[in-house]
């Protein structure tokens, strides 16, 4: 650590959180706001977001949290593009994304009665 610009352990911790947090936020955005993204595209986006965050952090003097934002944008863009280019099996996303939330069927009275009868007593 003597030759690096990191002056304390807390700065190093923030660097690691920024590198991984930006990509995780990007995966969240891909999962909730798109219907095209799949696991492989999200993984490629996560890795590219971590690399982009590291490159931005090491090549500039911006704050570590802003570098995380660059990782989020990179993760969403690369993850969506990878999901568009790499074919995957289409699964039912009803109720899982913001676009399919309104089309989710509401539970019937029989399903509600069944779930109430399965409750476990905590006595």
The pLDDT tens digits of the residues spanning 89-107 come to 777 766 667 767 665 556 6
pLDDT higher than threshold 70 for residue 121: no
Domain interval for residue 14: 9-90
Q: Would you say residue 4 lies in a domain?
A: no
> How many distinct structural domains can be found in the chain?
1
Check pLDDT > 70 for residue 46.
yes
- The pTM score is 0.68
Half-sphere exposure for 80 (CA within 13 Å, toward CB):
14
Q: What is the pLDDT of residues 62-84, one digit of tens each?
A: 877 788 899 999 999 999 999 99
111 found inside a domain = no
Instruction: Kindly list the distances between the CA atom of residue 58 and the CA atoms of 19, 22, 42, 55, 106, in Å, as whole numbers in the listed order.
Output: 11, 15, 24, 5, 50
In a domain, 22, yes or no: yes
Q: Is residue 42 part of a domain?
A: yes
């Amino acid at each position: 650590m003597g030759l690096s610009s990191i002056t304390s352990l807390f700065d190093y911790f923030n660097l690691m959180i920024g590198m991984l947090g930006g990509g995780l936020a990007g995966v969240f955005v891909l999962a909730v706001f798109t219907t095209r993204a799949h696991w492989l595209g999200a993984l490629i986006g996560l890795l590219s977001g971590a690399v982009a965050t590291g490159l931005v952090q090491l090549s500039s003097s911006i704050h570590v949290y802003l570098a995380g934002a660059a990782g989020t944008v990179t993760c969403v863009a690369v993850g969506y593009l990878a999901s568009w280019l790499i074919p995957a099996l289409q699964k039912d996303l009803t109720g899982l994304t913001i676009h399919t939330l309104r089309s989710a069927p509401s539970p019937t009275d029989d399903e509600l009665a069944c779930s109430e009868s399965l409750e476990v007593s905590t006595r």
